[in-house]
Amino acid sequence: MPTRKRYRVLRGLSYPTDPKVIRRLLAGERVPFEERRMKVVDVGVVVNDIPAVSVPGLLARGAIEAVDDGGETEVSDAKDDKPIG
């Protein structure tokens, strides 16, 4: 299985990580905020679960940067998810 790309957060982010919620949002469905189970990520954290559809825009805005395999920062995992609301 290929490894996921890793990104360092340069500006605080929050995003959904549940593929079902992401599909619903991309389809234009209104998903109540409390159902989105948003992940909150602080500046400097390296993650590998940013929705692929969001990566190009976040890179262009300077909100994230790609991290090579030699990065020394640990990747955030699911236990760091902080539901909002």
Q: What is the pLDDT of residues 6-60, one digit of tens each?
A: 999 999 999 999 999 999 999 999 999 999 999 999 999 999 999 999 999 999 9
| Structure confidence at residue 84 (pLDDT) | 42
Most confident of 18-27, 63-72, 73-82: 18-27
pTM as predicted:
0.73
**Rounded distance between C-alpha atoms, residue 8 and residue 73, angstroms:** 9
| Structure confidence at residue 85 (pLDDT) | 40
Within 10 Å of residue 29's Cβ, how many Cβ atoms?
9
Upper half-sphere CA count for residue 53 (Cβ side, 13 Å): 9
